[in-house]
Every structure is written in structure tokens, then in C-alpha cells.
Amino acid sequence: MPELRKGVRRGRAKVAPQHHNNNNNNNNKRSDPSPSPSPSPLPNAVGTYVKTRAAVARAKRLKLDNKKTTRKKNNNLNHHNQEEEEEEEEEKQPAQVIVISEKESGSDKKRGKKKEEKAAMGDDSGGLSANKAAGQEEEGSTAPFPERVSVGGSPVYKIDRKLGKGGFGQVFVGRRVSGGTERTSGPGAIEVALKFEHRNSKGCNYGPPYEWQVYNTLGGSHGVPKVHYKGRQGDYYVMVMDMLGPSLWDVWNSSGQAMSSEMVACIAVESLSILEKMHGRGYVHGDVKPENFLLGQPSTPQEKKLFLVDLGLGNGEIALVGSMLNMINALICLGELIGTVRYASVHAHLGRTASRRDDLESLAYTLIFLHRGRLPWQGYQGDNKSFLVCKKKMATSPEMLCCFCPPPLKQFLEIVVNMKFDEEPNYAKLISLFEGLIGPNPALRPINTEGAQKVGQKRGRLNIEEEDDGQPRKKVRLGVPATQWISVYNARLPMKQRYHYNVADARLAQHVERGIADGLLISCVASCSNLWALIMDAGTGFTSQVYELSPFFLHKEWIMEQWEKNFYISSIAGANNGSSLVVMSKGTQYTQQSYKVSDSFPFKWINKKWREGFHVTSMATAGSRWGVVMSRNAGFSDQVVELDFLYPSEGIHRRWDSGYRITSTAATWDQAALILSVPRRKPGDETQETLRTSQFPSTHVKEKWAKNLYLACLCYGRTVS
């Protein structure tokens, strides 16, 4: 992304000619020379004769000695040639960064290298887990596992076969070297599960894994395995736990990839009981899926008992619920999904802080998968996978998703997707939904349901349409999609403001010139049906302004030219036909600026720029494409994004209560994004209001003016009526 920095200018590199339709690339990126291929390994066999290990070692040493001699003789010549080749490669590369400091150039290369190292690992069920991808990054640097383990006063265990990988750790079978009992569980068991987590993993940034803290609180309670010993040995933190049996994924896979209604109902009842106790202790799991539910060991009294494992997503990613009325105002880490794509809640896809409703929505998808054998959003691939899955989840109604499922599953899903962020689930009523599917004899049930209180007894069934007090429940995500104007109003001291809408390209200059003659400058622009909306007022604080109508989204050369003149982008808009209106101003507080155009919302780029001290200051869309402008010294101390396929009313109100205010907004035909920021200097009157209207809100604007509320930003796109 092109950037302009104040201060000492550096020489401009050669700019290769570029077409306007290639603006979706991030102009900050530089391509480093490709590394030379690694030498091929020494063969162990020549012809039909097999070399011994000693012969291979001798040949290898001889080859290394020859290489050293040759390298020493030709050192100067090789070094000179290498420099020439690198210079030639750099000249061939198109210079896409303008006026950038050497320090930034180096950091960009490091970031590019880190980006190449990142990889996503698919789980056994085809889902994608963010925590597994993170674990994979560190695997190459981990030390070998010890052959024997003794931590925290435990007996000595010999490491046996590998059981699997979860979170940032790996789990092995540990066999007691001496002593022990024939019991299958407890500290004296001959076989235990050993979970290893490397000290450099993300979960151990501040010492022992966060999972230890969770197990200290929950370990041994209903549905959570017991940790008997824990400690550090060498480079690893180790937990000694009870051995468990197969996961629900294993059971599903071995039973024809489908489960009976009674089996799924028993799983639902017991899972809800486990989650109720976990939530009651102040924890949200964050990754509910079939692989994380395990049964007890076969042929033991616990073979029908259900356990929930993998409690360590690391660094507080298992969100502490605490007092749910004073919830977390953490920065949304866009693009870093917590959980597994297939089973994650829609709120998790959109980067929102996890709460109890998210575990229950993931449980609903888990139950439907176990019964049907497939979910409609399976099969998506690529970097855009999470976006496509989220979009499909939002578009799939409970009726469609549960058309081949028992009615209780549909009722359960409808309840949990309509829960509010801080709403406490009525676990007893949710459990009662499944009572008609479970047999009366507990001994014959496929899953032990002793954890659920009074399962099978007659209870009042939960009415989906009503709360306990008989008032209708607001349908949060079942509204009718609509395309509307979204307008945002801020409290200001009395000032002059003017608006124009349905403005054709030919009449735009006329309105702008008339406004400038009256002492007004453009504060906001938007587009609807390839016509422009224009807001001009006397309170912008800008000293001068330029704008350009372009058939391209966005016109890079013109923007770079204005950056050289110390103009900064203050507002942008895009039309469905791909054209754009860019307004650039002098007198802003910005010191550096970048923009990006992409085919989907650029959450990863925004997250990266946040870490570099930038904040979003303008947004626009052209058709399905997004354009986002970020600036340094924007006057914000914190910033979040509310991104939704419907209007994110709940998220906006919760952010307002925490001191955030809407500072930018944009929408496509199927998605709306609102940027909420915390200003460094609090305004005297923090009042902010929003409206959604089918027509341009001309009459509403005049009503707001009477209350000293002025248009701050607006867009046209997807909402919910």
C-alpha cells in the first residue's frame, strides 16, 4: 500500500507501469529474492550396491572438505557476483513503495518472512482450527521429547505412543516404570496421559500454560478430567492426566458416520450439564466440537461417561466470564478465529468476544453434524474460507439446517442463535427439550446422563417465542434482510451543514463549488445506485481540499500525487459500476496514511496496521469490493470493527456503553461494517445516534439539526428490517 511519511524525503525508486485494475494489491508489500534451493540429501544407495553408514559418513565429510576449499578459493569472486545478481533482481522488481524509511523496509521484509511461515492445519474432520495452525508454526523449533518424565513429585513415566495434538500441546501415553495399581484412573494408574507444551509456545508466553489455571479451577469437576501432577521438565511443561477413551468423532466415524436420535439427545443433555458447570465457574470453552468430547476408557465403569477436554487455547483465549454484566472490552483481533471454522459461532467468525452463547451455538452445530453426518458449509477452501462459511451459516435458516433432524434440535438452535451477549442460558429448560428422545431406563442409555438434574422427569417446555415473563423475544438474527441508508449523527456545537443526494457526475462540481463559496468543505461522501451523496459543513477544520471522480476504485496515481502535496484522504465513496469519489484535505492531524482495496473485507491487513499504530479513518465499497484507509495520529486510543451480514445493533450498543463511537461505516449488498473508536480527547457531549432508512434521510437530518446532532458518516448497503 502506498504510504507517505512526513520528514526527510528519500529518493524515489523506479515505478513500473501498472494498470488501474490491479489496485487490490497491498502496495506496502515487497517481494524478496527467492531463496536458493537447499542441496539434495546424500544418497544411501549407488547402483545395486548399498553403502554402509560409515561409508556414507566418510563420503559426506570428504564432500564438505571439498566444498570448503572451493568456497575459500572463490570467495571474493562469488561475493562480487552475488551482489551484482541481487542488484539486478532489485532493478527488475517494480518499486511499489514510495517514500519509506529504511527501518520500515526492514520490518516489512521480516513481516513478509513471518507471513510465509504461517500455515493452517486442518483437523481430522476437515475443519480448520486457529489454535492448531498456531501450534504448527512452533513445531519446527521444539526440542525432542524426553524418554522418561517425572514432574511435580510424580512417579517416573516412560513415554509410549502419541495420542494426538490439541491446542498448542501434544499428548502421549505414559507408562509407569515401577509400582502402580491396576486401576485405570487416579494418580496410581499404570497408564496415564501426558500433555506436553513447549515453553516457547504461545500458550506459555507468561510462564506455565494458561490451561493449568483452568484445570486448577475445573479439574476433577463433572465432565472435566483430573490432572494429578504438573511441572516443567527440560523445555516442556507437562501435565499428568487420567487416560480417556475415544472421542465423539471416533465414535461417529466408526458407526457409519451417523448417530441415532437417542445418542445425540444423550450427548446434548450431558454436554449442557458440563457446560453449565464450566460457565458457572467463570469460563467459556471456545472450541466445542466432536473431537473435544471424549468418553471414558472402554470396558471400565466410565466407558459411557462424557468428558470435555482441550481447555487451553492460551493467553486468555478461553474468555473469563466473571460478572457477565461488566464484560470485556478487548480489541477485536480480526481474522484470528478462536475455535474451529466448521463449528464456530457466527459471533466468533465476526471477531467478537466469546460468551456463553457461543459455546451453545457450537454445541448445536456439533449435534446436527453428529446426527446428519454433514453441515452445509463443509467443503470451502482457501484464505477466504472463514468468510464464506460465516456467510453460509447466516444464510441457512434453522428450518433448512434441521430439516432431517428431530424437532428438539431445531428448537435448540433457534434459542441459542438468538441469545444476547450477556444472557444467562436457562440450562434446565434447554435440557428438557431432549427429554422425549431419551429412553426411561438410565442403564440402557448410550451415554451416561447422571450429570443432568432430573433428566426424563416432566418439566415445563421452553416456549421459543416468549421469555419467562411472557414478553416476546426479540429475533436478533432472524430479521428480514434489507438494503438501506445507514446514517450516523454526532452532537456538535451549532454549525452550518448542507447535504446533497442523487447527484450525477456532471452536477457534482456545481454543488462543491457552491459549498466552498459559502465556507463549507466536504466532510462525508457516499453512493447509491451510481449516484452520489455529499455532506458539506463548516466544522471540518480543513484548510483546503481537492477531490477526484475516477472510473477506477481507487485511482492510485492521483492519490500518490496528492500525498506529495501533503493532502490526506478524508473521505471516499465507491459506486456499483466501479467508479470512485476520493476527497483529500489539508489541515488534518494525520502524519502517515495507507489504503487497501480488496475483494473481501481486509481484516488481516487492518489487524496488522493496528499493531503499527494506524487506525481506520475512511471506508467505502464498490460493488463487492472494499476500500479501507488507515492513518497514523488519527486521535484514537482504541478501535474495533463490528462486521456483520446483518446490521450489528447489539454490538454497537454494547460498544457505546464502553465509550466507543462510530467513526466510519461502509456496506456492500450482503455485509455491513462499522468502525468504532475511543477518542483520545473526549467530546463535551458524547451523544451519538444512528438511523436506518429506505430513502435518503433528508427529513430526519433536519430533525436532528434541531437537536444539534449533525451527520458524521453514512453509507448505503445491507441491513435488517
Return the active site residues: 287
- Residue whose grid cell is 446533497: 500
Half-sphere exposure for 646 (CA within 13 Å, toward CB): 18
3-state SS string for 551-563:
CCCCCHHHHHHHH
Question: Which H or E element spans position 347?
Answer: helix 346-349
Cβ atoms 558, 546 nearer than 8 A? no
- Residue whose grid cell is 489539508: 586
Cβ atoms 525, 534 nearer than 8 A? yes
Amino acid at 177: V
Q: What are phi and psi of 412, to 5 degrees?
A: -60, -45
Residue 607 gets which letter from DSSP? H
SS3 679: strand
- Return d(Cα 585, Cα 571) in angstroms, integer: 9
Query: Per the annotation, does 195 bind a ligand?
Result: yes
Q: Which residues contact 253 (CB under 8 A, 6 or more apart)?
A: none
Measured at the CA of 321, the angle between CA 318 and CA 323, to 5 degrees, comes to 165
Measured at the CA of 30, the angle between CA 26 and CA 34, to 5 degrees, comes to 130
Verify cis geometry, omega within 30 degrees of 0, for the bond prior to 554.
yes
Distances (CA, A) of 350 to 174, 297, 347: 40, 38, 5
Amino acid at 271: S
The DSSP-derived string for 203-224 is GGTTSS-HHHHHHHHHTTSTTS
Question: Which H or E element spans position 79?
Answer: helix 75-92
* Strand ranges across the sheet with 521-528: 497-503, 531-537, 521-528
Cα four-point dihedral sign 627, 633, 636, 637: positive
Amino acid at 155: P
Q: Label residue 633 exposed, middle or buried (CB < 10 Å: 0-12, 13-18, 19+).
A: middle
Cα four-point dihedral sign 184, 188, 190, 195: positive
Residues contributing to the annotated binding site = 195
Annotated binding site for ATP: 195
